[in-house]
Amino acid sequence: MTQIKIFDTTLRDGEQSPGVNLNQLEKLELAKQLERFGVDVMEAGFPASSKGDFEAVKQIAETVKNVSVAGLARAVKSDINACRDALINATNPRLHIFIATSPIHMEYKLKKTPEEVIETAVEMVEYGKQFFDHVEWSAEDASRTDLDFLTKIIEKVIDAGATVINLPDTVGYTMPREYGAMFKYIKENVPNIHKADLSCHCHDDLGMALANSVAAVENGATQVEGTINGIGERAGNASLEEFAVALKIRNDYYPYHTNLVLNEIKRTSDMVSKFTGMTVPGNKAVVGRNAFAHESGIHQDGVLKNAQTYEIITPELVGVHSNNLVLGKHSGRHAFTDKIKQLGYDLPEDKIKEAFKAFKLLTDRKKEVTDEDLFAILTDIQTDTSNVKRYKLDNFQVQYGSNDQPSATVSLSNPNNEKVKDTSTGSGSVEALYNTLDQIILEETHLTDFQLNSIGQGRDALAEVHVSLTVDGKTVSGRGSAQDVLEAAVQAYLNGVNRAIYQKKAI
């Protein structure tokens, strides 16, 4: 069976999703999980875009060792130099250069003639080849590019040293038959195409990203690019977990396989969802909460008699376990440490101590602690920035009555270690709390989005809040979890402000 390489761009294209803002610690933790997941190539970011992104790519390149780490670059020397410097300590570094090739992009965006685009592409691939053994070249908007021109430029960049040719459906415009035909045409008409791998990169604007990716593989692509949960710009990218499971389930039809560890899918999906604040829809294929739920009486009857009647994917295949009750109030430190190792977390002793303390506090309020609860605790512990001066919540109180205007009093410590307390009102309890925080916080803040979800099920489930806000004009996201919705809301707001402080210090 032919191996299809998986090029994950969750940390680059995925982070370009509206409202997503990952800090360096979160990107590093996601990179470690993507390595466990088994991706072949990890696009860690766009080093030239900011100092923060440069440092994140550099840190990832120095940490993960069993995956090729790539940096994105426009077809300019300064971008390539940034990738070279960020990836200098990578075990298997890779450069990803892109330039637009469609008539509309060349004329209106690049303002270059086709000949000038070819010249630039060749020059930059040759330049990048001085520093990287592996150079991927992307024809941005390839699916709307003249095929004869595409053939011509691909031949020249391969001669210049490109080892991977990526043909993206950048705006999600193409249908599967068209996209597959483009790959077939390139395979048949580029004389040196055997010297490079063909890669596909599909966007989901018309809901065709996965189908187009499969069509590309059917016609010669040996690398598929995408993201976890299909996140990305606009409507997102091809969903890697869907592609991998489709090949596994239909291995009777497709002679292809990937190196992905399928039972890591659920944990990877959950981590991406938690860090980005992008909730996975209940009806999402493979990882949605309803993917293995059956409400129809006929379906339930069939599944009870034989699961294969309506269930083509077993929950265990993707890492979903029906019984994940693990620890309780009387569980000790040893059992807790063993469990977090089973979940795949590698924490230093001080973080284990902190996580165990948070676990014990939770067991005082919650009788049954599940894997989902532990996941929430552990991911927060791993990406904590408490070593940075920050706002710390001491306590809060909310007064609310159906006929009265809600008011809130908040007491916290600011980054100067000063105890501050204030009171304000609002149309609701959350607004009253946030109005109070705005009066206390020294920075200029403005809330732009608020999302509330539950972790697990039942009346004692943890509440999880994700917020987007601007802090001194910079957009950040924040998250908080607690059994009390209002406490989660306060923690999320402060988390966002503290992240802004942390990022400002990093810059």
Greatest C-alpha distance within the chain: 78
Q: Mention every residue, 6+ apart, whose C-beta is less than 8 A from residue 30.
A: 10, 11, 22, 271, 272, 275
What is the DSSP pairing of strand 445-455 with strand 419-425? unpaired
Read off the tokens for 36: 């466990």
Interhelix angle 429-440/485-506, nearest 10 degrees? 30
Q: Residue 237, annotated ligand binder?
A: yes
Interhelix angle 265-276/24-37, nearest 10 degrees? 170
Rounded CA-CA distance 226/245 in Å is 14
Q: How many residues does the chain have?
A: 507
Rounded CA-CA distance 64/45 in Å is 14
Q: Which residues pair with 467 in a beta bridge?
A: 450, 478
Q: Residue 13, annotated ligand binder?
A: yes
Q: Residue 422, annotated ligand binder?
A: no
Name the residue among 287, 320, 275, 322 with its Cα closest to residue 464: 275
Count of other CB atoms within 10 angstroms of residue 22: 24
Q: Which residues pair with 71 in a beta bridge?
A: 45, 95
Q: Quick one: which H or E segment has residue 349?
A: helix 349-363
Can you say whether the dihedral through the CA atoms of 168, 173, 176, 178 is positive or negative? negative
Rounded CA-CA distance 139/171 in Å is 13
Count of other CB atoms within 10 angstroms of residue 289: 14
Annotated binding site for Mn(2+): 13, 201, 203, 237
